[in-house]
């Protein structure tokens, strides 16, 4: 399964045309992705047939949120659901950089019928392996996006393998640093089946670049071929 970040309806249409399986819709890719506007969610969902999962993240300062910010996130989830989003992408940590289970439970209470991904907040944890064990207690969470913690995704391959072993029902989706140079090795050495791409498939590998259809088709082909060889 291949998920690609979109910021606009045009992004979404190109991603679908190239053969990707799902869209993660964000604003402010330069900030790591924030909640898109309601009008943008509505337009993108109506522009494509593949699933659209919406980032729910009110700011890029950290993954630590106030009570007011959690209430905003809850309202964003309600609206995304009403607008026909397939799912939402969430995450919350406490001051100790641990998963804030209380806040996560509050958000999940709004997520019936939605496909839920816990985003790369997990990579901020001292122990992402234990983090995914904690998340596996929550049946609503279907996917965790990770690069295996801090550092490069290739260096973290052993940790990603351990995360998979401890993930329970959760699908581990690798992303954050995936590119043409390392994707073959990551597929072979982790056995992961779910992939997430952002700037790797944009012009000049820049968050300001357009989706490069040639690059996206090529990387999808590589992933499919490598996956078939597992």
Q: What is the pLDDT of residue 206?
A: 96
Q: What is the pLDDT of residue 230?
A: 66
From start to end of the chain, where are the E strands?
2-6, 22-25, 52-55, 87-90, 115-118, 141-146, 171-174, 194-197
Q: What is the percentage of the chain residues whose pLDDT exceeds 90?
A: 97
Residue 177: partners with Cβ closer than 8 Å, 6 or more residues away:
147, 152, 153, 154
Q: Strand 87-90 vs strand 52-55: parallel, antiparallel, or unpaired?
A: parallel
Q: Strand 115-118 vs strand 141-146: parallel, antiparallel, or unpaired?
A: parallel
CA dihedral 69, 52, 205, 128 (to 10 degrees): 60
- Which tens digits make up the pLDDT trace of 108-142? 999 999 999 999 999 999 999 999 999 999 999 99
Q: Name 117's bridge partners.
A: 89, 143
pTM greater than the 0.85 cutoff: yes
Closest CA to 45 of 100, 20, 97, 82: 82
Residue 117 CA to residue 85 CA, distance in Å, equals 13
User: Which CATH code, of 3.90.1150.10, 3.40.1160.10, 3.30.300.30, 3.20.20.380, is assigned to 2-228?
Assistant: 3.20.20.380
Domain boundaries, the chain: 2-228
């Amino acid at each position: 399964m291949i998920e690609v970040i979109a910021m606009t309806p045009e992004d979404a249409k190109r991603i679908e045309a190239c053969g990707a399986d799902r869209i993660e819709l964000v604003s402010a890719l330069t900030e790591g992705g924030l909640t898109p506007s309601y009008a943008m969610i509505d337009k993108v969902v109506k522009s494509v047939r593949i699933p659209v999962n919406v980032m729910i993240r009110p700011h890029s300062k950290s993954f630590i949120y106030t009570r007011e910010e959690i209430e905003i996130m809850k309202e964003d989830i309600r609206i995304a659901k009403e607008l026909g989003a397939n799912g939402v992408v969430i995450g919350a940590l406490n001051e100790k950089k641990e998963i804030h289970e209380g806040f996560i439970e509050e958000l999940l209470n709004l997520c019936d019928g939605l496909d839920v991904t816990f985003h790369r907040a997990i990579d901020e944890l001292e122990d992402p392996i234990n983090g995914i064990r904690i998340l596996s207690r929550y049946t609503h969470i279907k996917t965790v996006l990770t690069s295996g913690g801090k550092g490069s995704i290739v260096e973290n391959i052993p940790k990603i393998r351990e995360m998979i072993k401890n993930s329970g029902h959760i699908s581990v989706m690798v992303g954050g640093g995936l590119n043409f140079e390392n994707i073959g090795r990551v597929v072979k050495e982790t056995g992961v089946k779910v992939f997430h791409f952002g700037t790797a498939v944009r012009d000049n590998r820049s968050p300001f670049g357009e989706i490069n259809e040639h690059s996206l088709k090529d990387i999808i082909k590589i992933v499919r071929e490598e996956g078939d060889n597992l």
